Structure 1
């Protein structure tokens, strides 16, 4: 496994979904994070510190403002995939005098669930990481106060869905193929959803469960966009596609890490399946000594996920929360997200790493489904998918 592949695995481990950890562990993470947040906000020291407490690996970073005592503190509620360079967070504290404590209750789905459950007594002041598959639910529950950052770049305008949320980054969830496997086996890689149904590609695909994986839900949404809705009887449209894919020896696993590193032939392990659900940003992390990527994303199978930040209703420090939302659109943070969270900055003027330019092109026409449709149909989609694919 190359160092870049290891880097990808480390990053992906931060993007694991809720099923990669037991429910009890998730609950413990919430309790622990709340306790840490309480300590940070109530401490009596006159020397400010900014601690970033993260679920993965118990990583912590502390920064002290060089401008004297901090004016205030805020708590950022985020998912357990959130990662930022310590010097970037330190710059925010230095510029504003605001200390930041992080609470990470789980993956993107768990994050929204916790925001809704605690809306009468919010976990913090500001949230980052609500995506377009879950955003409408949080909006309808009154989780946020209205605020869209005035620092929003023009390239972000197409992703606006409500005046309470500011788009910060995005990523394309796509099927990836192991180019080396296909070359070694004398076969042409598939290119489209329909190709995966052909007999010559039987037993080659591994995906994640949309009930337990946010990439899995994104892929489900992509097929809804590609093949249309089902009938009232639950036939036709996208469900017929999944039934056919099931019959072509589809493998379904709970989490991304197992799919990519256990079952995928290009994941550096002993996997035998050359098609996996991953991200358009995955191929740069398979570049070998020859300077070429071992894998490629199938750009006709992508769904675009967008992550948002917002000020929580009932926040103790709404002004500090608004300042952090603005900072998430600043050049230092936007330039940091590709390397730290393996997503694309929402500001298209920010320079990407060269390997992303070479090997991580975005889909020109990703499949899309309106956020309100996802909100209304999500549970029914998952139930129907489960009954059909996992029967």
Structure 2
């Protein structure tokens, strides 16, 4: 039964690390249970979502060492994971849940959807990731921030007696979230829409911190900032993948090349052919793109804006009243071990929760360390869905209202 409901990640199938299991299959798991596989060996069921990466080699090593097979099934979104946990409280569909983020951390705790578990040999953790009472165990984190293409912001070299071409003079390098509602920058940016993309919600958390909706009279609230962003032509993409890999990168990694004023072909919006040189991503995005290159490139045309970043943690836990809670605890132990932690980096460019894990070569060369905002899980957990509704209302009102005025852009020549 388990063989039909999940995907075996041991025994040579590591390359297919987890699939999404339909609700109908989850119902079968509820009825039949997955404590043992067809051959009677022990198994542990893992529930996650499509945005979270589980290192297949670490799971395979866990099975080889313990004899416990790992059956992974995925829901589409983190919300789907939470909903399934709540609907299956009486008969849990999984023993372990992985990929809970800061937005839903307090929801899991308040709903007692996991049970406390203290790993047998916990390693040193990155600051502020630990959870009180061990309701969840930190797995990884990202520092979400703005990314940009440095080549776009290079000022073309010119002779001292030559007048600059205003169309080729770029805006200054973005320095923070202010760039998103600056008319000189906004038309160069594409961001994941918080209404449809989890990465966009992380941007919304950063905006609320920088421009609180109910702040003092001297701070512009983020709904007004959003209105200005839309007026100056910030593009909203329905997903992080589209924003990053299509509209920002153009379907291929940014070229591996040095960034220099000596480039004979200045990078402009026209030369980017519809791509946009600024997006919302992570500090690990340069290392993600480096992995697409043959070997480590000498330079990479992607950089990180180090201000206004926000840290998002990802967690795992033993599901409350799980059929195989003890086996789930053994998997939680393995998740905290170096092999799993070293392999946790995924397409977001996430980092291991343990602070003593050596970075991958791509991270060592291209990863960027920042001092991010660490949101309070209780505060963001209680408010992010309301912020999401407000965002959608502002976007809807803008799209149905009168056309915005043309932006006035002042170019400051060097």
TM class by shorter chain equals 0.7 to 0.9
Structure 2 residue aligned with 1:31? 24
Residues 194-229 of structure 1, C-alpha deviations (whole Å, 9 max, x = no match) = 133222213111111212211111110011112223
Structure 1 residue aligned with 2:285? 282
Q: Tell me how far apart the structure 1 counterparts of residues 51 and 384 of structure 2 sit (CA, whole Å).
A: 22
Residue 295 (structure 1) aligned to one of 279, 288, 302: 302
TM-score in terms of structure 2 length: 0.74
Residues 362-390 of structure 1, C-alpha deviations (whole Å, 9 max, x = no match) = 322x1232111112112211111111134
Q: Tell me how far apart the structure 2 counterparts of residues 93 and 286 of structure 1 sit (CA, whole Å).
A: 31
2:47 matches 1:44: no
Residues 69-127 of structure 1, C-alpha deviations (whole Å, 9 max, x = no match) = x4x22101111234344432122122222221112112223222222222222111111
Q: Tell me how far apart the structure 2 counterparts of residues 341 and 385 of structure 1 sit (CA, whole Å).
A: 23
Alpha carbons 1:266, 1:274 under 8 Å: kept: no
Structure 2 residue aligned with 1:154? 124
Structure 1 residue aligned with 2:195? 211
2:291 matches 1:321: no
Structure 1 residue aligned with 2:141? 170
2:115 matches 1:145: yes
Q: Tell me how far apart the structure 2 counterparts of residues 374 and 281 of structure 1 sit (CA, whole Å).
A: 23
Residue 330 (structure 1) aligned to one of 334, 337, 347: 337
Alpha carbons 2:244, 2:279 under 8 Å: kept: yes
2:247 matches 1:263: yes
2:382 matches 1:376: yes
Secondary structure of the corresponding residue to residue 276 of structure 1: strand
Alpha carbons 1:265, 1:271 under 8 Å: kept: no
What is the aligned residue count? 341
Q: By how many angstroms is 1:42 displaced?
A: 5.3
Larger helix share, 1 or 2: 1
The answer for unaligned runs of 5 or more in structure 1 is: 1-13, 15-24, 47-69
Q: By how many angstroms is 1:35 displaced?
A: 4.9
Alpha carbons 2:189, 2:235 under 8 Å: kept: yes
The answer for unaligned runs of 5 or more in structure 2 is: 1-16, 157-167, 254-272, 398-414
Given the superposition, is the C-alpha separation of residues 186 and 283 from structure 1 closer, same or farther in structure 2, using an over 3 Å criterion? farther
* CA-atom RMSD in angstroms: 2.9
Given the superposition, is the C-alpha separation of residues 302 and 33 from structure 1 closer, same or farther in structure 2, using an over 3 Å criterion? farther
Given the superposition, is the C-alpha separation of residues 106 and 377 from structure 1 closer, same or farther in structure 2, using an over 3 Å criterion? same
Q: By how many angstroms is 1:146 displaced?
A: 1.5
Structure 2 residue aligned with 1:181? 152
Q: Tell me how far apart the structure 2 counterparts of residues 309 and 167 of structure 1 sit (CA, whole Å).
A: 6
Alpha carbons 1:338, 1:352 under 8 Å: kept: no
Given the superposition, is the C-alpha separation of residues 146 and 36 from structure 1 closer, same or farther in structure 2, using an over 3 Å criterion? closer
Secondary structure of the corresponding residue to residue 334 of structure 1: helix
TM-score in terms of structure 1 length: 0.79
Alpha carbons 2:35, 2:324 under 8 Å: kept: no
Structure 2 residue aligned with 1:3? none
Q: Tell me how far apart the structure 2 counterparts of residues 30 and 351 of structure 1 sit (CA, whole Å).
A: 39
Residues 249-277 of structure 1, C-alpha deviations (whole Å, 9 max, x = no match) = 11112111211233225653954211112
Q: Tell me how far apart the structure 2 counterparts of residues 297 and 266 of structure 1 sit (CA, whole Å).
A: 18
Given the superposition, is the C-alpha separation of residues 87 and 249 from structure 1 closer, same or farther in structure 2, using an over 3 Å criterion? closer
Residues 149-196 of structure 1, C-alpha deviations (whole Å, 9 max, x = no match) = 243323245212332111010011212111223337542321111133
Q: By how many angstroms is 1:39 displaced?
A: 8.2
Q: Tell me how far apart the structure 2 counterparts of residues 34 and 81 of structure 1 sit (CA, whole Å).
A: 23
Of the structure 1 ranges 160-169 and 85-94, higher mean CA displacement relative to structure 2 is found in: 85-94
Alpha carbons 1:266, 1:294 under 8 Å: kept: no
2:91 matches 1:107: no
Structure 1 residue aligned with 2:95? 125
Residues 303-334 of structure 1, C-alpha deviations (whole Å, 9 max, x = no match) = 11110011111101111111111110001101
Q: Tell me how far apart the structure 2 counterparts of residues 349 and 358 of structure 1 sit (CA, whole Å).
A: 18
Q: Tell me how far apart the structure 2 counterparts of residues 36 and 177 of structure 1 sit (CA, whole Å).
A: 45
2:359 matches 1:352: yes
